[in-house]
Structure 1
Amino acid sequence: MHDHTEGQSSKNIAVAFWLNFCFTIIEFMGAALTNSTAIMADAVHDLGDTISLGIGWVLQKISGKPATKKFTYGYKRLSLVGAFVNAVVLLVGSTWVLFEAIPRLWAPQMPMAEGMAVLAIFGVLVNGYAAYRLSHGHTMNEKVLNWHLLEDVLGWVAVLVVAIVLLFVDWPILDPLLSIGFTLFILWNVLKHFRATLRLFVQASPDTQLYQQVNSTLRGMAQVQEVHHMHLWSLDGEAHVLTAHVVLKQPLDAQASVELKEKIADALAAFHLEHTTIEFEWPAEDCRDS
């Protein structure tokens, strides 16, 4: 089931990459035909998105490879690297858009509205479909890539609205105003994903509520006296890893230990953890990690 999810994630990113790549070429051609600097700037931005999608696609494929002696947890964490790189690209790109758009508030330029409208409709359809493909993903990589595409969709919606209005009135200032609005919206959302990615990089707990629930589950076992050195972290935002020292109320023989391990495994199954390592300690035993 998990292999199917990995394969679907890679396929979704591949579709988004090729759609974005082909449309970027069309954008550059459209910018030349319409003599629109706004569309040219969007084409440059989409070129950056295409590069990010390509990196994300490669890393997503590599992340599904099995574990080795060197990468004992496998390559899933490379997917997180892709999420980090893409978030940085999106942050830099959005900041650049703001630096380009804000000065135009004082010196707005009248674009070619007819050509803008045609390209905008095409842009909404292409990027909207690509974003839809990635919207069902669960990995941090897919989430960040999805915001790349949503930024493009909102950008083309803004271009379409401006183009329609400019067909009837001479208000070129609407172009920078809408650009600034949707860019700030995207920045706000991608910063949240960027923060979550950084937390995973420093191996912070992916979910404090999940941590408490797992801890309570272990402590609730009849044979368990105490739980310490419990660590919960995530490989890629979806596959979580748990390690814990469990102090028993009394020593157990081999058969009883096996039965308790099975009981713990059944109890933890509800949390869908990727890896679990539980170490038993006797009541009077000194913890070797103290």
Structure 2
Amino acid sequence: MSAGHNHDHQHGSSGNLKLAFFLNLSFTIIEIFGGFWTNSIAILTDSVHDLGDSISLGLAWYFENLSKKGRTPLHTYGYRRFRLMGGLITGFMLLIGLSFVLYHAVLRLNHPQEVNAQGMIWLAVLGVAFNGIAVLRMKHGTSLTEKLVSWHLIEDALGWIAVLLGAGIMMIWDVPFIDPLLSICISLFVLWNVIRNLKKVFSVILQTVPEDFDITEFERKVTEVSEISSIHHVHCWSIDGESHVLSAHLVVNHGVENYAEIKAKVRDFLDEHHFEHVTLEIVKEGESCRIAP
């Protein structure tokens, strides 16, 4: 991955998060007034949830901008790892918000209340429009933060589709339990995807091998290079879920001196992956590495 490509991608990520933040905040304000207008506890509850999401989106936008800073003596890989903070905050806010919505949806299921169904339809149309625009902007995002934010926006869009369907049904039949039932189903679906993406964030934080890289296959290919007798001390992790790091010791046969050519062959095995920092140390057969295994 080239530095220019990464810079352009980060700029796009920041712009997407900025749009998502302002759209979410604007609609939250509309939603608060609309909740009182329709006498809908569900909408007022969701407005509190969206206010919390607006805060998390603002923080995600801040950390995305912070991640653009270059390397320093303290942060030698730069600040890109701070992007994970935005993903973590967004993920946990979603878990809290979904729990809040689920709790009130269950209460509403047990004690249905009459609402202004026609007003709910107008608010639902606005909700789908606001969140739909943001989802279209975020759907091509590749960072873990963008993926979690996308699920936040999809959750909101699906939630408003549920409100729209529920309000439409309630205008025809007196079945107020439809709205909370749809909310529960959608919340559980989104919850599963949020947990799945949070696991990826924690995987990066714990410096596990990137899921799209088979380290065993890489070691096998390296040992097939005629000048290399073995490979050890292979360490591989990801900085932010997109840019990866790898270091390894290559044990070469006696008499081999074309080190630059050997390293080039090994780097060729990494071209299809997003390795931004690759450190390959040449070790002659019988030479001690002087580090713990």
* Secondary structure in 1 matching 2:172: coil
Deviations 1:208-264 (A, max 9, x none): 6432343233222221111111111111111111111111122433xx112222333
Q: Distance in 2 between matches of 1:241 and 1:166?
A: 55
Q: Classify 1:15/1:35 alpha carbon distance in 2 versus 1 (closer, same or farther; 3 Å).
A: same
1:279 correspondence with 2:243: no
- The count of aligned residue pairs is 288
Distance 2:223 2:26 in 1: 55
2:66 is matched by which residue type in structure 1? Answer: I
Q: Which AA in structure 2 matches 1:246?
A: L
- In structure 2, what is the Cα distance between the partners aligned to 1:132 and 1:78? 25
Q: Distance in 1 between matches of 2:212 and 2:133?
A: 34
Q: Residue 74 of structure 2: SS of its match in structure 1?
A: coil
1:153 aligns with 2:149: no
Give the 3 Å change call, closer, same or farther, for CA 212–111 of structure 1 in structure 2: farther
Q: Which stretch has the larger CA shift, 269-278 or 206-215?
A: 206-215
Question: 1:124-176: per-residue Cα shift (whole Å, max 9, x none)?
Answer: 01101101111101100100111111110010000000010011110011111
Structure 2 partner of 1:259: 261
CA distance in 2, matches of 1:25, 1:217: 57
Q: Which position in structure 2 is the counterpart of 1:214? A: 218
Correspondence 1:166 to 2:205: no
Q: How far 1:188 moved relative to its partner?
A: 0.5
1:17 maps to 2:21: yes
Secondary structure in 1 matching 2:247:
strand
Structure 1 segments unaligned to the other structure (5+ residues): none
- Alpha-carbon distance in 1 for matches of 2:212, 2:275: 15
Structure 2 matches for 1:1-290, cutoff 5 A? 1-207=5-211, 209-253=213-257, 256-289=258-291, 290=293
Letter in 2 for 1:85: I
5+ unaligned residues in a row in structure 2: which ranges? Answer: none
Whether contact under 8 Å (1:243, 1:276) holds in the other structure is yes
Tell me, in whole angstroms, the C-alpha distance in 1 between the residues paired with 2:275 and 2:211: 12
Instruction: Output the CA distance in 2 between the equivalents of 1:66 and 1:214.
Output: 30
Q: TM-score, normalised by structure 1?
A: 0.95
For 1:186, give the aligned amino acid: V
In structure 2, what is the Cα distance between the partners aligned to 1:210 and 1:66? Answer: 29
SS in 1 for 2:153: helix
Distance in 2 (alpha carbons) for counterparts of 1:216 and 1:121: 56
How far apart are the structure 2 equivalents of 1:135 and 1:145?
Answer: 10
TM-score with structure 2 setting the length: 0.94
Moved over 6 A (4+): none
* % same residue: 42
- Residue 199 of structure 1: how far off its partner (Å): 1.2
Distance 1:208 1:27 in 2: 41
